[in-house]
Structure 1
């Protein structure tokens, strides 16, 4: 059980970790479940999650350079200690923007008037793709920021990720690097963006594990390759 901020600025929200990152990690053979017990927004924090990890003997390599088609778009819009219509307006705005781009989305409402510290609101949306990968977009509310802006930001974030044709979005691209280095055999994945976080992670993992990443620009996306150590 972990305690802290679940929906805070400058970090992927907990719903991204639950519905995007863990699904991408499972492609390497890692089985991770995150149960959300209580949301924690900035600055109060105090969120709680329960993490369940099924040990894997080794992680398999990941060959994921083509994301394939979008099979479905889903999402969660939440509001804590705020009126329910806040989450509903966020979800409606995201749906409208996605419809403008020709995409339908199934976005559910997670309204918690009393159970969490709050107040706070936000949305995470994700696209499940035929390759098995999942890409996400998200946005957080804040005082003075209209709900409609929150929803539209998240939708536009996801659409930007999808336009590149890469198999993994920028958040997963940041976080999956050590797992690829620990996996058995050669992995190759495409990223929508090679961020400064990813660059730092590559630098650190290369020095810690003695692997060498090959990072190249491939049109609008990035290609990341590495021969993993096969740690068990």
Structure 2
């Protein structure tokens, strides 16, 4: 049994998600103690319990301590199974975080796996589902990792009610990636939205503010850059409740995709929300980062599993990324190397363990 200290580094739910996914893949029991010790309310929340329950179903596992508020969890995985798995958080619990814990396991099943997820699609403290599909997924596809996505309904805080379906085909192995040359900017793209009783003008203001900042980026080829940033209002049958936000992306000439996102709030003007998302992209561009600060930690588990050496160029490592590296190194023989460049960018390299799907 592998012992994991849940208070290490980031000290949040990410430790649990990565540890659970790796436990299923390695078919090795784990005991996680001091769960979410770095949070105001330590212990398992409803969001994390839904992730535990999902993986219990996906790999015929047993668990001890999987109750609300528990600060210690034992997890004993069995064989990975394929099929359809349903999770309804009953709240605005993030469907993106459920996908985060389930996707690595689904990839190594016997056949097609479908995750039917209900909860929050655009919620605070978690990736917006649009960021996952439009920014994270293209980066994962460079490693032979992908999924099909169908959105039925959006869910916002506090009611949730979002509904989507993710379909995953199994793979034999994960390919190593080399995402280290940015090239030049080709396109800025994105979507600014409002829902409920919020006026379309708010989305327009987010779009204008974001575009204004992005047009001011220090790039010699700025006149040739394409801008495809749209604003729209969600139809009532697709979204319940009020919400606003945006997801932006930047495509480079070498195929790099970096992103930025933000959700609006009643205490913030729409133009400020738009500027926040744009500044996330500009912050990456100053380092010629090929992977943004929100994607970098999401790639770590796949780099560890890949068959060969992966390399990415990214902005300074986040605490989430440092935590992800620590957890996968403590659970596998994967070895990560980081080197800071003269401009502050960081090259992350990993010799993956070459994990293979035993069913294919």
Out of 116, 132, 135, the residue aligned to residue 20 of structure 1 is 135
Indicate yes or no: 2:215 matched with 1:99. yes
Asked whether the equivalents of residues 257 and 291 of structure 2 are also in contact (C-alpha less than 8 Å), the reply is yes
Q: CA RMSD in A?
A: 1.5
The one-character-per-residue Cα deviations of 1:77-135 (angstroms, maximum 9, x if unpaired) are 11110222221221122112222324652112231152212211001100112222210
Relative to structure 2, which stretch is displaced further, 178-187 or 34-43? 34-43
Indicate yes or no: 2:353 matched with 1:229. yes
Size of the alignment, in residue pairs? 232
Alignment partners' CA distance in 1, 2:287 and 2:167 = 33
SS of the equivalent of 2:276 reads helix
SS of the equivalent of 1:170 reads coil
Alignment partners' CA distance in 2, 1:109 and 1:35 = 21
Aligned to 1:199: 322
| Unaligned segments of structure 2, at least 5 residues | 1-115
Out of 37, 46, 49, the residue aligned to residue 164 of structure 2 is 49
Asked whether the equivalents of residues 98 and 105 of structure 1 are also in contact (C-alpha less than 8 Å), the reply is no
Relative to structure 2, which stretch is displaced further, 36-45 or 114-123? 36-45
Alignment partners' CA distance in 1, 2:278 and 2:226 = 11
Asked whether the equivalents of residues 284 and 314 of structure 2 are also in contact (C-alpha less than 8 Å), the reply is no
Alignment partners' CA distance in 2, 1:34 and 1:171 = 20
Aligned to 1:89: 205
Offset at residue 222 of structure 1 (A) = 1.1
Aligned to 2:19: none
Which structure is higher in RCO with an 8 Å CA cutoff and minimum separation 6?
A: 1
TM-score calculated relative to the size of structure 1: 0.94
The one-character-per-residue Cα deviations of 1:133-179 (angstroms, maximum 9, x if unpaired) are 21001111001211111111111111111111121001110100000
SS of the equivalent of 2:352 reads strand
Alignment partners' CA distance in 2, 1:159 and 1:169 = 10
| Unaligned segments of structure 1, at least 5 residues | none
Alignment partners' CA distance in 2, 1:227 and 1:135 = 24
Alignment partners' CA distance in 2, 1:217 and 1:142 = 36
